[in-house]
């Protein structure tokens, strides 16, 4: 299942001394894809925050399957799923474009609180869930 995807290319400065993408950089790729996806769905974190709604990652699960190297072209895809009444997840995958080799599987669980710090599930998040 894929709801959204974006293609990217590894930049030299994202690699460590071993010549592979540093493990922390993968989270940047995944977050960039989530933010692009949210823009396509008209979800604006600045506007949500101005209204006193704060959406945050509360759990990150990352399975590293293969290393990326400088110049590798890859795709980050995602779909959403409900976790509970007040939580949802972005399920993501990174694959090499050349041959669709899986590079990473990830799952980010998010939750929201209102201006009083109470858990909530804004309508904007509700709209992101697949039927």
3-state secondary structure of 31: helix
**pLDDT reading at 130 higher than 90:** no
- The mean-pLDDT minimum among 30-39, 49-58, 85-94, 122-131 falls in 122-131
Section 11-34 average pLDDT: 96
Q: pLDDT band at 1, cuts 50/70/90?
A: low
Select from 88, 91, 90 the least CA-distant residue to 125: 88
Does residue 63 carry a catalytic annotation? no
Secondary structure element (H or E) that encloses residue 51, with its range: none
Domains and CATH numbers, the chain: 4-126 (3.10.129.10)
Catalytic residue, chosen from 12, 16, 42, 72, is 16
Contacts of 37 (CB under 8 A, 6+ apart): 3, 4, 6, 78, 90
Strand blocks (E) in 25-126: 54-64, 73-84, 87-96, 102-113, 119-120
Report pLDDT digits (tens) over 64-118: 999 999 999 999 999 999 999 999 999 999 999 999 999 999 999 999 999 999 9
């Amino acid at each position: 299942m894929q709801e959204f995807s974006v293609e990217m290319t590894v930049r030299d400065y994202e690699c460590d001394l071993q010549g592979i993408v540093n493990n922390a950089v993968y989270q940047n790729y995944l977050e960039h894809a989530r933010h692009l996806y949210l823009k396509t769905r008209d979800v604006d974190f600045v506007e949500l925050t101005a209204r006193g709604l704060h959406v945050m990652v509360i759990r990150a699960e990352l399975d590293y399957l293969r290393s990326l190297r400088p110049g590798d072209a890859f795709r980050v895809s995602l779909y959403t799923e409900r976790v509970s009444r007040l939580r949802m997840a972005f399920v993501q995958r990174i694959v090499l474009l050349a041959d669709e080799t899986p590079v990473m599987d990830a799952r980010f669980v998010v939750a929201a609180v209102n201006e009083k710090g109470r858990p909530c599930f804004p309508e904007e998040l509700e709209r992101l869930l697949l039927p």
